[in-house]
A and B are shown apart, each in its own frame.
Chain A
Amino acid sequence: MSHWSEATQERARQIISRYPEKRSAVMPLLYLAMAEEGHLSDEGMEEVAEWCGITPAQVLSVASFYTMYKREKTGKYLISCCTSISCMLLGGDDVLHSVEDESGVPHGETDADGLISVEHVECIGACGGAPAVQVNYELIEGVTPEKGRELVRWLEKARPEVVNTDEMQQLFGERRSFDWAIAEHDGAIGPYPAFQPLGTVGDEGGS
């Protein structure tokens, strides 16, 4: 008696079938649950428990261990500002503060409209392009406080359905950790990683 869409259920079945033991599918299924509701609800965890043959308490135990399973209502855009050492050295804290100020959303919270959530995060592997920011785990490198403000305003105004790393880098980024070479059109459609097996990838270029 699943509450998930038939498509999500089919995806869950496929994911489980690929692992030697079904409990291993807990993490990808938690992302499916988030994609269904925009965040990870208690019902979502119960559903995952059912699929994986474990108790909801065990699912919660796993989900709460990791930072990306958001158990609170999360905005359509999750802005994650890195304030770890390399970003901090080059002004990551100032970028965070500018994003907080412009959006009016402090770390760990979501605005009233459910549009933007802000968090500061530990290292996201973009140290050569510090300071770095992610929107729905799509990366922007070399962000200044002013560009951080522009990013917030753009999200509020343009409200892109798909968040694309290359587009945002073009608009709000500068120095990169390395040459990204060619641009791609796919990106994130919610505050969870855009990844094909999860069905969470959107095509920004349209088709």
Chain B
Amino acid sequence: MTTPLLVTKRMTEYPTDSHTIDRYEATGGYAEARRSFSLTRDEIVEEVKASGLLGRGGAAFSAGLKWSFLAPARPSYLVINADESEPGTFKDRQLLERDPHQMLEGLIITAVANEVHHAFIYVRGEYAKPARRVQQAVEEAYAKGYLGQGIFDSEYDLEVIVHLGGGAYICGEETALINSLEGLRGEPRLKPPYFPAAKGLYMMPTIVNNVETVSNLSHILSMGADGYTGLTDSTDTGTFMMSLSGHVNKPGNYELPHGITWRDLIYDIGGGIRDGKELKTWIPGGASAPWFIPEEHIDLEITKDATASAGSMLGSGAVIVMDEDTCMVRAAERIVRFFSHESCGQCTPCREGTTWMEMILRRIENGEGRAVDLDLLVDVSDGISIDLAWPPKMTTICPLGPSAVSPIIALRDYFRDEVQEHVMRGGCWFPGAVKPGEAGRPMASVSGESQAGIPEGDRIEGSP
């Protein structure tokens, strides 16, 4: 854990003004953007490829490789994806608020490397303060001549627009984001044929990169690919941001070297479980990721490959920790509810399946579960993500629907007895549960009604 901080270094050392252009430049900022004009496009792309930098929005695809796929047609566009909305994730918010120029410098480098003259920063609508910080930074950069016409005294023009989202998780998916930027509903596009690198924004070649991804670029150029890959011995290079939340003593964002284990993260860095409770389960990579349990996964290395071979992903770097007092049905319901609420509605399986699953889960939690319901949940999931395989075999256009299946895999594999006990006991017994007949509210419902009518004959014995 001696790896130096990269993307959070400035904000750690200069907490009061790390977001200003003065501090940014005083600490060496914009040197790499300026230097990028002395490099060829290929040199930049190759350096980034060699650095092994993986996209930090969730898909973990090589950033340099993504750039190299850009089709030759022009104009090309760049969109910085600051639509951070995956439950558990709040790292980009910190990077946007606390060091927006670092992201802007990465934007400039990306633009130069890909011949982009028109870039957009798509900030989720609920991130008003981060958007204001970014807007201020953009205005400062324009005033300095780092954005606009002839930037850094070159012939190069670069216009940047900060675009505010409207409240839709799915716009974090790059083709949905592109539709949204075009003034359309944020529905993912078909791939094929609408690969952003060829037919993206306004049907032109487009690069979509995450905030954290581009925030790494100035560091990669300054230390070189070798320096960057040399930061760890792990298969994954550089550092990565993790958002830690849930029942840990020290939640928060942490910039970490690859190669530590989940035990290191949860117990050392996160300070262990609150109130001396036991760890029950955790989600390793945002709400979309299949869950891990201590019995099987606590000593796994936190790398892309190790996580994938254990049947999950690091995704957006969000780790959600749940203790022994957490009801798994309620936790699953909350995650499925999220995807149901955020489903764009295009694909039948996602639109209908996620809502159906949400209704079943809420029914079980509220004491109206049936013995067949867990198998039904698995079957419904099967229709969205064939065989509940990992990585998913999707019946949908984008991975949102199949993401909703992750909690069901956990219920099936690790918590079957707990689900069936909900059925047998007529509801939930965990702290905070609403007991049937007791005064209280049903669980908050966003997308469906909580009380479903179950015909008498379908109820199992022992159910109230």
Contacts and interface: CB of A to CB of B under 8 A. Distances in A.
Direct contact of A and B (CB under 8 A): yes
Interface of A: 18-21, 23-28, 30-31, 52, 54, 61-63, 65-69, 80, 83-86, 88-91, 93-94, 96-97, 107, 120-130, 134, 137-139, 165, 175, 177-182, 184, 186, 188, 193-198, 201
Interface in B61-118: 75, 84-90, 92-94, 97-98, 118
B326 A125 contact: no
Given A122-B87, A123-B86, A177-B251, A128 B245 contact: yes
B94 A122 contact: no
B252 interface: yes
Contacts of A121: 126
A186 B118 CA distance: 29
Contact of B444 (A30, A52, A83): A83
B464 interface: no
Contacts, number: 205
B67 to A, nearest CB: 21
B338 A122 contact: yes
A201 B18 contact: no
Contact of B243 (A85, A127, A175, A194): A127
A195 B128 contact: yes
B135 A85 contact: no
Nearest to B335: A85
Nearest to A29: B183
Contacts of A27: 163-166, 180, 183
B322 interface: yes
Interface stretch (B9-17, B36-44, B192-200, B307-315): B9-17
B366 to A, nearest CB: 14
A120 B444 contact: yes
Nearest to A27: B166
Contact of B331 (A61, A89, A195): A89
Given A89-B331, A123-B338, A137 B125 contact: yes
A89 B185 contact: no
A66 B166 contact: yes
Given A83-B334, A125-B90, A65 B126 contact: no
Centre residue among A88, A127, A177 by max chain B CB count within 10 A: A127
Contacts of A89: 245-247, 320, 322, 326, 331
Given A125-B85, A127-B251, A175-B251, A24 B125 contact: no
B87 A24 contact: no
A23 B338 contact: no
Nearest to B17: A182
Given A21-B202, A66-B125, A89-B247, A28 B16 contact: no
Given A62-B185, A66-B167, A84-B338, A165 B129 contact: yes
Contact of A123 (B87, B135, B182, B444): B87
B87 A84 contact: yes
A167 to B, nearest CB: 13
Contact of B129 (A93, A130, A139): A139
A134 to B, nearest CB: 7
B443 A93 contact: yes
B169 interface: yes
A69 B167 CA distance: 8
B93 A125 contact: yes
Given A27-B164, A52-B183, A84-B87, A122 B342 contact: yes
Interface string B146-170: 0000000000000101111111110
